[in-house]
Amino acid sequence: MSQPLPASNDWFSVRQELAGRVRIVRQELYGAHGGPWLAKRMGMPFRSWLGFESGQEIPAEQILRFIEVTGAEPRWLLNGEGQRYRDSTHGS
């Protein structure tokens, strides 16, 4: 069953939680200093990636590209539930 959408004043928390989860994936797959490499694979400036990890809104095209590049599980990115990756060839 899907969870209800958060109240409008809680979107800040949602963005912060998503930022934390994309940071976890980046650190697991690319290391502590792998942000520039991930940004390059995603075809975007590293500075933009830093903004996403800081809680700026991630455009749909970029989050979809992140899922494609990393194999991250969309459900886990959304709410932290379930498996972190779509298959076992990525992190845990």
Please give the pLDDT value at position 10.
84
Please give the pLDDT value at position 4.
64
Return the number of other C-beta atoms located less than 10 Å from residue 44's C-beta: 17
| pLDDT by 10-residue block (mean), the chain, 92 residues | 61 92 97 96 96 95 97 95 83 46
The whole model's pTM is what? 0.83
| Crossing angle of helices 60-70 and 35-42, rounded to 10° | 110
Please give the pLDDT value at position 69.
97
